[in-house]
Structure 1
Amino acid sequence: MVLPKEIGHQVRFGKSLIELFRRGCWEIPEIMGASGMAIVGLGLALIGLSNYAKNDGDNKEYKSYYCVIRSDDPRAKLIRNPVKTEY
């Protein structure tokens, strides 16, 4: 019985988590690359949301509703642009 010749090369991967990642990059590089970019995008979105919340991002100059704040309210000192009465 004649065995067929090997064409190309055989790639063997181990059973660890790193080897699973390497095998995924070998077999489906498009999916692994897109998954990596999605993880990076989620990380950047979380950083952006935390910066937005930390810098009082909800304090907009033009709002769709009026909100009356008393002068002794701690949020009163956060107002950047009080109502202008110059016309």
Structure 2
Amino acid sequence: MTELEQWRNEIRALDAQIKPLFLQRLALAQAIGRYKSKHGLPVYDPEREAQNRQTLSADVNRTERKAYEEFLQAVMTICRKAQES
């Protein structure tokens, strides 16, 4: 096995670990969306999302922080869309 194949296998293993967590988050977002709809609450709260990104990325080193914040933003956007459906 080449070094590249080894790294790709490691990424696949990490993706497999991320998948159930992502699906749990998505299910929670859908439940939150139903709650918000029932109670007339807005789906999008930009201040909360910004605070969440800032809190979660605070301990990430400077070099990787922007990429991690982009990852968080992508996940939040997907989950926000799930709340709207």
Q: TM-score, normalization: structure 2? A: 0.34
Bigger Rg over Cα: 1
Between Structure 1 and Structure 2, the one with more helix by share is: 2
